[in-house]
A and B are shown apart, each in its own frame.
Chain A
Amino acid sequence: MSQDVLAGLAVILEEVAGVDPADVTPEKTFIDDLDVDSLSMVEVVVAAEEKFSVKIPDDDVKSLKTVGDAVSYIQRAGVAA
Chain B
Amino acid sequence: MTTTPRQVVVTGLGATTPLGGDVASTWEGLLAGRSGARRLTEEWIEQLPVQIGAPLATELPLARVEARTLDRSQQMALVAAREAWADAGSPEVDQERLAACVASGIGGVITLLTQHDVLREKGARRVSPHVVPMLMPNGPASTVGLEFKAKAGVHAPVSACASGSEAIALGLDIIRAGRADVVIAGGTEAAIAALPIAGFAQMQALSRRNDSPESASRPFDKARDGFVLGEGAAILVLEAAEHAAARGARVYGALAGAGISSDAYHVAAPDPTGAGAARAVRAALRSASLEPTDIVHINAHATSTPAGDLAEAVALRTALGDHIDAVAVTSTKSMTGHLLGAAGALEAVVSILALRERIVPATRNLDALDDEIALDVVSIDNRKIGTGAALSNSFGFGGHDVCLAFTV
Contact = CB atoms under 8 A, between A and B. Distances in A.
Interface of A: 16-18, 39-40, 42-43, 46, 49
Contacts of A39: 69, 129-130, 133
Contacts of A17: 65
Contacts of B66: 18
Given A39-B69, A39-B130, A40-B69, A46 B64 contact: no
20 contacts: A16-B68, A17-B65, A18-B63, A18-B64, A18-B65, A18-B66, A39-B69, A39-B129, A39-B130, A39-B133, A40-B69, A40-B129, A40-B130, A42-B129, A43-B128, A43-B129, A43-B130, A46-B125, A46-B126, A49-B125
How many chain B residues sit at the interface, stated as a range, is: 10 to 19
A10 B141 CA distance: 32
A16 B64 CA distance: 10
Interface of B: 63-66, 68-69, 125-126, 128-130, 133
B65 to A, nearest CB: 3
Contacts of B126: 46
Nearest to A41: B129
B129 to A, nearest CB: 4
Nearest to B127: A46
A16 B67 CA distance: 11
A49 B122 CA distance: 14
A68 B66 CA distance: 26
A35 B247 CA distance: 35
A55 to B, nearest CB: 10
Contacts of A42: 129
A43 B130 CA distance: 9
Nearest to A37: B69
Nearest to A14: B65
Contacts of A46: 125-126
A42 B125 CA distance: 10
Given A43-B128, A46-B126, A49-B125, 17 more contacts: A16-B68, A17-B65, A18-B63, A18-B64, A18-B65, A18-B66, A39-B69, A39-B129, A39-B130, A39-B133, A40-B69, A40-B129, A40-B130, A42-B129, A43-B129, A43-B130, A46-B125
Contacts of A49: 125
B125 to A, nearest CB: 6
A39 B69 CA distance: 10
A78 B64 CA distance: 31
Nearest to A42: B129
A19 B66 CA distance: 12
3 A-B pairs with the lowest CB-CB distances in the bound complex, closest first: A18-B65, A42-B129, A39-B129
A44 to B, nearest CB: 10
B146 to A, nearest CB: 12
Contacts of A18: 63-66
B120 to A, nearest CB: 17
A77 B63 CA distance: 34
A45 to B, nearest CB: 10
A70 B255 CA distance: 54
Nearest to A17: B65
A48 B41 CA distance: 35
Nearest to B132: A39
Nearest to B131: A39
B62 to A, nearest CB: 12
A17 B336 CA distance: 35
A13 B63 CA distance: 15
A17 B66 CA distance: 9
Nearest to A49: B125
A67 B172 CA distance: 48
A40 B129 CA distance: 7
B139 to A, nearest CB: 13
A4 B68 CA distance: 26
Identify the interface centre among B63, B125, B129: most chain A CB within 10 Å of its CB.
B129
A29 B255 CA distance: 48
A40 B364 CA distance: 46
Contacts of A16: 68
A49 B125 CA distance: 10
Contacts of B128: 43
